[in-house]
Amino acid sequence: MFSFQSIHRQLFVFLSFISCSEQEVRKPISSSKTHTLLSTVKALKEINKIEEAKIENYIKKDSLHDYIRSSNGFWYQYINKIELDTITPKKGDLVKITYDFLDLNNLTIYTKEENSIREYRVDEEDFIPALQIGIKLMKVGETIKFIIPSYNAYGLLGDERGIGINQSIISRVTLINIK
């Protein structure tokens, strides 16, 4: 039979043995992961600069129109502006829109007919980030031309069909109604 002192002594010996045993040395965090992350960030910043220069060049060539730069990273220009003070879409509204996509050479990627009329629940469905924000600027009957850098559209991969890798796009959106 074991006494309390006996158990205590065995526990002491066991703990002493464990504390004296070698523990596995932790290896330092690899600096190559950090280096890879930093080089990726640098490359993405460079891509964004190139895209921005292309967009600014496009806007400069289109001197007949005034473009507004959004604080959200896209540009827009009213094709058909409604001057009346009416409602604009807000979160949860169901809007009906038509839209197309063009490249920065004004070549059509997808027509309004290909995209068909779209019903979109504002801020509650996945959609092109810039258009999610841009639609909330619109009044029923307005058409706005959005110039969208890739990071605010289809990003690094494109849509794997007509929109390429890191491709800026133009979209002409008409707001048909708000429910």
Q: What is the mean pLDDT of residues 158-164?
A: 93
Q: What is the mean pLDDT of residues 48-54?
A: 94
Give the span between the Cα atoms of 146 and 165, in whole angstroms: 19
Total Cβ atoms within 10 A of residue 97 = 22
Q: What is the pLDDT of residues 52-67, one digit of tens each?
A: 999 999 999 999 999 9
pTM of the entire predicted model:
0.78
On the CB side of 91, CA atoms within 13 Å amount to 2
